[in-house]
Structure 1
Amino acid sequence: MLLQLVSVQSAAAASDRGISFLEQRFESWPQWSLPAPLPRPRAKQDLIYPDWFSGTWEVTSEALDDSGQPIPNDPPLVHEVRFLRNRRSELIGDRPFNAAAVGKALLGEQLLSVEQDSNQVNRQLARFRDDVLLETTVIGRRETSPKETTDFFSDELVLQILHGPGAPRLSRIETLTHYVRCGEDICADQRQVSHAGPGLKTDQTLEGRSSRFRLTLRPLALEQG
Structure 2
Amino acid sequence: MFIILVLYHKIRHKINQKLIISNRKLLLMLKKFIYLLIVIISILVTNINPIFALSLEDRINQYPSWQQKILLPKPEKDLIFPDWFEGKWEVTSILKEQIAPLAPKFQTPGFEQNNEYIDKKIQFSVKFIESSFYPQQDNFVPQKINKQIIIIADRKFNSLSIAQAYLGIDNVEKVVINPNNTTEQITKFRGENELISTVIGRQQENISEKDFITSEVTRQFFRRPNSVYLNLVETTTKYHLINSNLIKAKQFTAIYLSPQDPDYFVAFDQPVALYYYTLELKK
Name the residue aligned to 1:190. Answer: 251
| Aligned amino acid, residue 242 of structure 2 | C
Q: Secondary structure at the match of 2:167?
A: helix
**Partner of residue 47, structure 1:** 79
User: Which structure has the higher relative contact order (CA within 8 Å, separation 6+)?
Assistant: 1
AA at the equivalent of 1:113: K
Choose the corresponding residue for 2:275, options 206, 211, 221: 211
* Letter aligned with residue 87 of structure 1: S
Q: Which amino acid aligns with 1:32?
A: W
The aligned counterpart of 1:81 is 126
Q: Contact between 1:171 and 1:202, CA under 8 Å: does it hold in 2?
A: no
- The one-letter code matched in structure 1 to 2:236 is L
CA shift, 1:86, in A, is 1.4
Q: Is the 8 A contact 2:130 2:151 kept in 1?
A: yes
For 1:217, the aligned partner's letter is L
Q: 1:61 aligns with which of 68, 82, 93?
A: 93
- What TM-score does the superposition give when structure 1 sets the normalisation length? 0.79
1:179 equivalent among 239, 256, 268: 239
**Partner residue of 1:95?**
155
For the 8 Å contact 1:168–1:200, the answer to whether it is kept is no
Q: Structure 2: which amino acid aligns with 1:63?
A: L
Q: 1:19 to 1:181 in 2, by over 3 A?
A: farther
Report the RMSD for the aligned CA atoms in angstroms.
2.5
Q: Deviations over 1:152-187 (max 9, x none)?
A: 011111111001133421111101110001123000
* Length-normalised TM-score, structure 2: 0.63
Q: Secondary structure at the match of 2:209?
A: coil
Q: Which amino acid aligns with 2:277?
A: F
Counterpart-to-counterpart distance in 1, 2:202 and 2:278: 21
1:126 lines up with 2:187 in the alignment: yes
Could you tell me how far apart the structure 2 residues matched to 1:202 and 1:84 are? Answer: 40
In 2, Cα distance between equivalents of 1:26 and 1:169: 28
Letter in 2 for 1:101: S
Gaps of 5+ in 1: 1-17, 220-225
Determine what percentage of the aligned residue pairs are the same residue.
Answer: 30
SS in 2 for 1:90: strand
Is 1:137 the equivalent of 2:189?
A: no
Compute the displacement of 1:22 (Å): 0.9
2:199 aligned partner, one-letter code: V
Could you say if the C-alpha distance between residues 30 and 107 of structure 1 is closer, same or farther in structure 2, counting changes exceeding 3 Å? Answer: same
Which structure features the higher share of helix residues? 2
Amino acid at match of 2:198: T
SS of alignment partner, residue 175 of structure 1: strand
Counterpart contact for 1:167–1:201, Cα < 8 Å: no
Structure 1's consecutive aligned runs of 4 or more residues displaced over 6 angstroms after TM superposition are none
Closer/same/farther in 2, CA of residues 24 and 48 from structure 1, 3 Å limit: same
Flag the structure with larger Rg.
2
**1:141-152 counterparts in 2 under 5 A?**
141-145=202-206, 148-152=208-212
Point out the structure with the larger strand share: 1
5 Å-filtered alignment, 1:8-27, equals 21-27=55-61
The number of aligned residues is 194
Three-state SS of the structure 2 residue aligned to 1:77 is strand
Q: CA deviation at 1:32?
A: 1.9
